[in-house]
Structure 1
């Protein structure tokens, strides 16, 4: 019935290895652009907060 052609599941070390490879490669690919984005975003939000504080006083 279920899984007749597939008798074994993936082994745990194989799954853990795939997850580690995925995380490491994801950080290598997307890490620097995301860091740049968040630095820019936080800077813009800080500037907006200063403007709001200045206009309220």
Structure 2
């Protein structure tokens, strides 16, 4: 198993989960928080520079 690919898969699943929660809630502050977290997780999947410089969010 490749740890980097496992991590990216985990972060992608978390982003998907946050997006689903954002779509289900009606509280504006919660929607914003879920979308923000989804963005952070997607950065961990797709942005190599962010991965090198960002602290862990797990």
Instruction: State whether TM-score is above 0.5.
Output: no
Work out which of the two has the higher radius of gyration on C-alpha atoms and give 1 or 2.
1
Q: With the length of structure 2 as denominator, give the TM-score of the two structures.
A: 0.41
